[in-house]
Amino acid sequence: MTAGAFVTRFAPSPTGPLHLGHAYSAILAHDMARAAGGQFLLRMEDTDLERCKPVYEAAIADDLAWLGLAWDGPIHHQSSKIPHYNQRLEALSTKGLLYPCSCTRTDIRAALAAPQEGVAHAVYPGTCRGRAMASRLPGDALRLDLAAALGDLAPMGLQFAETGPAHAGTHVVDPDVARRLIGDVVLSRKGEDIVAYFLASAFDDADQGITHVVRGDDLFDFTPIQVILQRLFGLPTPIYHHHPLIRDDQGKRLAKRDDARALSKYRAEGASPADIRRMVGL
Ligand code: GLU
């Protein structure tokens, strides 16, 4: 990376129309790139082949163009890189850091006798840990053996810089905290050979030369696992900027299916791109 380079991206999943929250994210990333004389790339995170639709992708591109956000280069599609992601995953398998897992959500809940304290989602209890890759059945997911992976990494390198308002500073990923809060995450989904979002995204950030990741605060908690994966694959760690989420009048986060706030609706009602910027506080 050249000193002072700034390459960022907007990475929507084309599973629905863009809402004000996406508009905020895209405008912010675009404006930061342009202010730094850098690049603003567009990436479709479309590995979920059932939920992602070309019609949503076309609508996203149209909304961005209407907002005046021109992206540099062609649109990058994760769906075209699935064999490439799986090939890279092989390296972890060779190192003995992956294992097949046949547990269902119900199995996992049952194995976790008591709710885990301070943990937002169920951390996998490790039922299938130790299974050989050769025992993988067609319906099995692949999990990362996190303790083994952390053992392979020098803890010194597990850190990232954050410039977003809520968490600005340097964050060190503590291996004990990672084991307790992250655990053995699924890297490849059940039987589909599609790598998890946060892995595909880490590969693409490196492949696209992303120096700055600008995205919503809801993804801040994914960053430590992405940093661990970056170290495991020898990838660079970009600078992160997690921005506040746009909420509705009731303080509820805008979800993609919240059509009432779809950008297209404001457009149809005659709002201008400047109105949208005002509405999201830019
Ligand atoms: N595809 C993710 C989303 O739409 C964004 C991922 C990212 O920016 O890292 O929420």
Assess if CATH 3.40.50.10490 describes domain 7-279: no
188 ligand 1 Cβ < 6 A: no
Residue 1, pLDDT > 50, answer no
Query: How is residue 281 annotated by DSSP?
Result: T
Report pLDDT for 112. Answer: 76
What phi, psi does 160 have (nearest 5°)? -145, 155
Distance, CA 165 to ligand 1 centroid (Å)?
Answer: 19
Q: Which atom of ligand 1 is nearest to the CA of 25?
A: 8
Return the minimum-mean-pLDDT range out of 129-138, 166-175, 183-192, 261-270. Answer: 183-192
Distance, CA 11 to ligand 1 centroid (Å)?
Answer: 5
Say if residues 224 and 182 touch (Cβ distance below 8 Å).
Answer: yes
Distance, CA 198 to ligand 1 centroid (Å)?
Answer: 9
Using alpha carbons, list the distances in angstroms from residue 74 to 33, 41, 219.
17, 8, 25
- Average pLDDT over the chain reads 91
Two structure tokens written together for 11: 């990475």
Distance, CA 215 to ligand 1 centroid (Å)?
Answer: 7
pLDDT tens per residue, range 96-129:
999 999 998 888 877 776 655 555 567 999 999 9
Q: Can you give the pTM of this predicted structure?
A: 0.92
pLDDT tens per residue, range 49-102:
889 999 999 999 999 999 999 999 999 999 999 999 999 999 999 999 999 999
Three-class DSSP labels, the chain: CCCCCCEEEECCCCCCCCEHHHHHHHHHHHHHHHHCCCEEEEEECCCCCCCCCHHHHHHHHHHHHHHCCCCCCCCEEHHHHHHHHHHHHHHHHHCCCEEEECCCHHHHHHHCCCCCCCCCCCCCCCCCCCCCHHHCCCCCEEEECHHHHHHHCCHHHCEEEECCCCCCEEEECCHHHHHHHCCCCEEECCCCCCECHHHHHHHHHHHCCCCEEEEEHHHHHHHHHHHHHHHHCCCCCCEEEEECCCECCCCCECCCCCHHHEHHHHHHCCCCHHHHHHHCCC
Two structure tokens written together for 282: 């830019």
Report pLDDT for 70. Answer: 98
226 ligand 1 Cβ < 6 A: no
| Separation of CA 188 from chain center | 14
11 ligand 1 Cβ < 6 A: yes
Q: Whose CA is nearest to atom 6 of ligand 1?
A: 11
Distance, CA 99 to ligand 1 centroid (Å)?
Answer: 26
Say if residues 99 and 143 touch (Cβ distance below 8 Å).
Answer: yes
